[in-house]
A and B are shown apart, each in its own frame.
Chain A
Amino acid sequence: MSTSLDTLIRLAAKRFGADPAQLRAEDDLFERLGIDSFQAVELISDVEDEFDVELPDYELQGIKTFAALAQKIDARR
């Protein structure tokens, strides 16, 4: 069964045209994907849609890695 982390990485790779095999749990997702604030907002919408969760922005402050974001997603599922 695919974990939230796997799904998140697949989603981010698809949105920003990256190779999911090259993305790691502890990567800084902003640096790794090279995304700006507008694209980050798009990613949050994708994540909420895919996992059917709401992620308040203030809970995402300081979240940098795919793993940390996946944890936040799991906490809201």
Chain B
Amino acid sequence: MFSLKSFLLGSIFFLFIPQLFAQEFTVTGTIYSEDGHVLEEAYVYLSEHKWAVTDETGFFQISSVPPGRYTITVSRLGYQKQNLDIIISSNEDDLLQIYLEELIYNNKAVVVTASRTAQELEDVPAPIDVISESEIQKSGASTLKDILLEQTGIALSPNEDNSIQMQGFESDYTLIMIDGQPLIGRTRGALDLSRINVSNVHQVEVVKGPSSALWGSDALAGVINIITRDATDPFSINAYSEYGSRNRYDLGVSTSFMKNKSSGTFGFASNGSDGFDLSEEEFGKNQNPFDAVSLNAKLKYEFSSYTSLTVSGRYFRNQFNGEAITTVADEIISIEESGWQDDSNLQVRFETSPISRLSSSVVAYSTRYEDLSDTFFEDPEEEDIRTNNRQGLDRLELQNDYSWNNKHLTTFGAGATQEFVRAERFQGERTQTGSFLFVQHQYNSNEKLYLIAGARLDNHSAYESYLSPKLAARYRINDYFTVRASFGQGFKAPDFRTLYLDFDNAGSGYRIYGTKNILSEIERFNQQSLVAVELVNDISALGSLEPEYSTSYNIGTTFLLPDEVFRFSVNAFRNNAKNLIDAREVVELVDGSTIFGYLNINEARTQGIEVESTMTLFKQLTASIGYQFLDAVELASEERTLIRNSRVVTEDVEFEVPLPKRPRHSGNIKLFYREPVFDTEFSLRGIIRGEYFFNDTNADGNAEKNVDEFVEAHTIWNLTIGKRFGTNFRVQIGSENLFNYTDSEFLRFQPGRTIFTRINFDL
């Protein structure tokens, strides 16, 4: 089919001249890309000694060609090779105009997050999404948050700025990593995804469902792994600059090199804005003005084809300032706030193959996070408040992959982690240590069946050991249909907050103590005879917390046509979460005030269906839609007094309470269109959210219209238009939230319309 098309393309521009003289001629021509750009360095071959390479104007010339019938072959890197039959019988200026079709590399995406080993995306038995570098570029996104929100099954959390929900869980339950190592620095459990600049990202891998069997704690709802780019060219430089509404700016420069055995990438990026404000009546802004910088570097040296050393690092700093209001002794006063966040990490990775069939890697990783915020009061009498919080994590990890033959691969490894947090509210520095072992076996039978089984054991100084298993299978029914099923467990360790944070608000009638201190505190009140009632049966159970965990099942199928012309996938999931930690009133004191403690009491269930479909309608138009149905409930049980057979009885009744702030229906629409005449790329993305209830206002566990507060169904549209100028420049203009949808009451983190322009330079 293709050769017929090339033949037609070539024939249009070919001049048939009758053979008149038996002499030698000069053959000339120009080689173009399909969209009309001249192509230099194209190789034009006529016969063994008659060939040429095009110059910077795409022109070539082959002299001393005897007349006759020839097959001319034109090839160039990145384009389809073309063969044309021609007859040479005269000298003709610019005789041939040959248009080459761009070669679309159907590069099969390779992912690592699902098995800790490189696997082709379509092979992976677990639900996984990959966001490619080109998708990030086409959208014009600058931070991880922007691009994640456009994915099916990921929603912006209404609770914390720039954090996400996955499979019905808040962001505390999703592990976020860079090159397989965890990021730290969470606020109330949420990691600010706008801290991660995507300009050096090769791809983002999103595994949905628990993955603690590979990655340990926090991978309960899923894992987001950011894979940074490796150098692929001898030398390249990239610079971009963006400016948009509310003085939003984003600029950066990055460079990479590859020479002999060493390669590296370096990048600098800076972004910021004036923040945004949805309601003038409300004091302060929804987002404070900020300025952030980030630096990254990656250096790799290859000692041999299977031994290499990679050192990579990243530094981020964000500075903010703004105004807010607060309540001091029941009086509302305005305050000024300013501060910064600092986030850095360093990773050293050594890979080698000590014996045949075994590849090993050792990773040393260190990351630090610090934030500082100052609160200034207008009243000079009032003392300014400074809070400072430091966290760190150091890890050493070893992984071995042994391939028994082309069907069996065993992965095993171990590691040790040390974590600390230092903050006034934690009374100084707190340290925890942990170690882990993991093993996994993969079986791949002649492309049809693929099985993975694995488990990980986590030992920890602050809680009991935890074993997470997983089992996953993929079966390829035929060339088009694949089915997948997986089972796994995910856990989340009790964090520093639940272990150590003491908060004494005796003025408001309550105190909260961390698990490590609560027993001694209650004992202290007991000795002073201040305890009135113990509100839980077993007070001593407060002294230790177990990890929260979830058992999860995923089953799905994919229908795929060749060349990814059409792809349809559906995945059903169910997570049964147990031991969820909640603060409860545990002791009432004689003065009527209460003490709160943390308990493993809550249970939740989330289940749903995700559907994704992508189709390439013409070569220029790609459309995709995604949909998620979500049913997320907390499972509660309560002692209830009721009448059975005319007698009053008290029994435990189990009931479900819908979890708020989660749309039942959500989805997205994405259209990418490459307009061929002016070579312009259009990317339109719609993020659709169904209606959901925000607050259970009367606290009866039911969502009721007119009583509870509902967020109405809405769609946020983002549009980006990009055009290339020459081979080096790309200009984009775009609008986020094109139709300016805002809701100052509930969607507090959704800014209004942003218009931006972006210039990108590549060399």
The answer to whether A and B assemble together is no
